[in-house]
A and B are shown apart, each in its own frame.
Chain A
Amino acid sequence: MARVVVDVMLKPEILDPQGQAVQRALPRLGFAGIADVRQGKRFELEVEGPVDDAALARIHEMAETFLANTVIEDFVVKVES
């Protein structure tokens, strides 16, 4: 079965307090040099059948209507071999 990954991230202009909290915790834990952290979501979809253009179009539609809220989030669809 092929795996398709959908990465969902808050749009750049949207404040991400969770990412900021992670970034602020890093120096205390001894991890220096990280200027910014943005936190997102990763969906791993195990696809039945071929991952052709039609299947990818459906996944794109799924991401746009459900996995991401495009008012606040961007998404990227990637096929993993």
Chain B
Amino acid sequence: MTARIGVVTFPGTLDDQDALRAARLAGAEPVSLWHRDKDLKQVDAVVLAGGFSYGDYLRAGAISRFSPVMETIIEQAKAGMPVLGICNGFQILTEAHLLPGAMLRNNHLHFICRDQKLRVENAETAWTSDYSAGQEIEVPLKNMDGRYVADERTLDELEAEGRVAFRYLDVNPNGSLRDIAGITNAAGNVVGLMPHPEHAVEPLIGTGKTDGLGFFTSILKKLVNA
């Protein structure tokens, strides 16, 4: 028995195929989900992939957040279903208030595309259990609206509860407060990050490493052992 991992395609999503592929390489059964379809096809977990859904109109993720598929995902996420938001997916999760804070234009106003070092700060979420706390990984980063912001009280709360899941290392590429690259909800089932683990799952492409595969093996182990 394996787990079914759904990946949502919105108009303007770019990285859904890579996310499906990453799920398959980890040993899961990848399932395509469509933004207009409320039905999650009995998946065990959902990935919101990167891209520019709805052209980033209004705000990145602001329109996707109200799509039919998100109605079900928001409801299921609150009930404990694992959800991973990557890049635009992270933006959608903050717009949906499944994760606190918001994403804004990079502080230098340039689109950025680079291999980015991260430190895994929390290795106890549904999506990070195959890493160890403090582990350094390198995965691609590519975005325009990657600056994570939240008020001081929220940031202090995230730090105190160990909910800063990933931090940028060496360089802060977009002005994110406290070098935050990704966060988790209190339950650890909803995780969002700006960099792209799904692009670093095979030695041939991406960074040449497979540092991102752990996200998908983590969730698979959790679901299969459940």
Contacts and interface: CB of A to CB of B under 8 A. Distances in A.
Partners in one complex: yes
B109 A18 contact: yes
A66 B63 CA distance: 8
Contacts of A67: 58
A32 interface: no
B224 interface: no
A50 to B, nearest CB: 27
A71 B104 CA distance: 11
A39 to B, nearest CB: 10
Contact of B59 (A13, A21, A69): A69
Contacts of B105: 17-18
B94 A15 contact: no
A14 interface: yes
A81 B41 CA distance: 50
A72 interface: yes
Chain B interface, DSSP helix/strand/loop, else mixed: loop
Contacts of A15: 104, 107, 147, 149, 175
Interface string A10-27: 100111011001000000
Contact of A69 (B66, B95, B109, B147): B95
B178 interface: no
Interface string A68-80: 0101100000000
Interface in B63-90: 66
A71 B62 contact: no
Contact of B94 (A14, A21, A66, A71): A71
A71 B107 contact: no
Interface in B96-143: 100-102, 104-109
Given A66-B62, A72-B102, A14 B109 contact: no
B102 A17 contact: no
A14 B149 CA distance: 8
B66 A66 contact: yes
Closest 4 CB pairs of A and B: A71-B102, A72-B102, A17-B107, A17-B109
Interface of A: 10, 13-15, 17-18, 21, 66-67, 69, 71-72
Interface of B: 58-59, 62, 66, 94-95, 100-102, 104-109, 147, 149-151, 175
28 contacts: A13-B151, A14-B104, A15-B104, A15-B107, A15-B147, A15-B175, A17-B105, A17-B106, A17-B107, A17-B175, A18-B105, A18-B109, A21-B109, A66-B58, A66-B62, A66-B66, A67-B58, A69-B59, A69-B62, A69-B95, A69-B102, A71-B100, A71-B101, A71-B102, A71-B150, A72-B102, A72-B104, A72-B149
Given A17-B106, A17-B109, A69-B102, 8 more contacts: A14-B149, A15-B107, A15-B147, A17-B175, A66-B58, A66-B66, A67-B58, A71-B150
